[in-house]
Amino acid sequence: MRISMRNKCLAVTAAVGAAMAVVVAPAQAAPAPAPCAAPQAAGPGTAAAPFKVWLAGDSTMANGSSTCPVGWGREFDRLFNDDVTVVNNAVGGRSIQTWLYESNVKTTKDAAGECVVSPRTYASRWANMLSTNGMRAGDWLIIQFGINDGDRNCPRHVGTTRYRELMATMGREAKARGVKPIYVTPVSAIRCSGSTAVATRGFVNETIAQGQADQVPVIDLHKRSIALYNTLRLCPNNGDYSQGAVGAFFCNDHTHFEAAGAARIAETVAKALREQGIGLASSLR
């Protein structure tokens, strides 16, 4: 019969106590036997529990094509230890609302100027992430929208108030499952003012404000990507994205990345994790 370590310990303690009672004079109180040591925690060499990092966003994050465009999410997995799996559910051309509700977002607006959503049932990508086979406690969720959301026309249009509501919804539902969200401001396109790269995106302040309201860490990738472009001296340029340093970073447009550019943006996000002391950084290589 197998005896548990706890039972063995209790048995030994009882035996020691009985023996001491025999040899100690009646006038003396027998000292209490030493308690059993608590089980030791796993040593530093013990492998960490595996978990997933889920990505939700647009084309600048999506895996993309084999050549161009490539989203930074495709280059993210290689930056982590083997216990981490990156699941990239970013989709090109989506605002936060079309990513969440897909075909249920209509081409008409309501009285408040927001695109009508009917029925309000989630698209399969988010529904699956919320299912028992999706996100689990200990996972992370990185959310980056704000590029397509500024479209004036439905279905992509999202007003600033609605944008914040939907981001809060995603963060809240992630937290309810023990998943840790991170909000990311939209990565900047390349626009030059003389020799300086400048801001190109909206929804930056809204993302930061919602992160503060939800007590969720925010990576200001918009600001960090502009700083990166200036470090790499991508300005000035002649607007020809098929050659030179800007051509090696961007596709033949001002927005999407070559693989090399996507890798630099992924590294910028990883650097932010470390510099901001976000817990996910502990699993970076």
CA pair distance 280, 84, nearest whole angstrom: 10
Helix-strand-coil split of the chain, %, nearest 5: 40, 15, 50
Residue type, 52: K
Structure tokens at 121: 């049932």
DSSP state of 103: G
- The phi and psi torsions of 84 (rounded to 5 degrees) equal -110, 135
- Give the C-alpha separation, 253 to 35, whole Å: 71
Q: Which fold has domain 51-189+199-222+262-274?
A: Rossmann fold (3.40.50)
State the pLDDT at residue 27.
40
pLDDT at position 78, please? 98
pTM of the model: 0.83
* Mean pLDDT in consecutive groups of 10 residues from the start of the chain, 285 residues: 40 40 39 43 58 98 92 98 98 98 98 97 98 98 98 98 98 98 98 96 98 98 98 94 92 94 98 98 98
Structure tokens at 211: 């992160």
Determine the pLDDT at residue 28: 41
Count of residues in the chain? 285
Question: Rounded to an integer, what distance in angstroms lies between the CA atom of residue 1 and that of residue 234?
Answer: 73
CB distance 201 to 185 below 8 Å? yes
The CB density around residue 92, as the number of other CB atoms within 10 Å, is: 17
Structural domain boundaries in the chain: 51-189+199-222+262-274
Q: Tell which residue, 102, 193, 92, has the closest CA to residue 155.
A: 102
Q: How confident is the model at residue 47, as a pLDDT?
A: 58
